[in-house]
Structure 1
């Protein structure tokens, strides 16, 4: 079982993404926090912290104009 930690930045929901991938969860968390600080005020921004295991993604945190959602999302 291989787990990757991703941070994904989209300027519009379901649009093209900028993504980083790390083996260490703390590094992905730091990048998520940085991107929220830099880009989080945009009205259409979506920033996600994702855990991927064997190709299956689980969103751990998600930032949109409405604020942050923590924990798994469907």
Structure 2
């Protein structure tokens, strides 16, 4: 939710980052207001790798993403 509380974490290892994302989805994902994103930062950009919004996984893409059936 825009303007709501935010938690940010940084991991050097991709496996740890993805496991943490799944853990956070398990802990907080049942609240439809929660948005959980795993992003990769480059020099001047940020790429969304995984996203959880409105109680479901969202596929990241160049069009901003669309909701998956999972």
Alignment RMSD, CA only? 1.7
Structure number with greater Rg is: 2
Number of equivalent positions? 63
For structure 2, the residue ranges without an aligned partner over 5 or more in a row are 65-70
Runs (4 or more) in structure 1 with deviation over 6 Å come to: none
In the other structure, the counterpart of 2:51 is 62
More strand by share: 1
**How many Å apart are 1:72 and its aligned residue?**
3.2
**How many Å apart are 1:66 and its aligned residue?**
4.4
Matched, 1:22 2:24: no
Question: More relative contact order in 1 or in 2 (CA 8 Å, sep 6+)?
Answer: 1
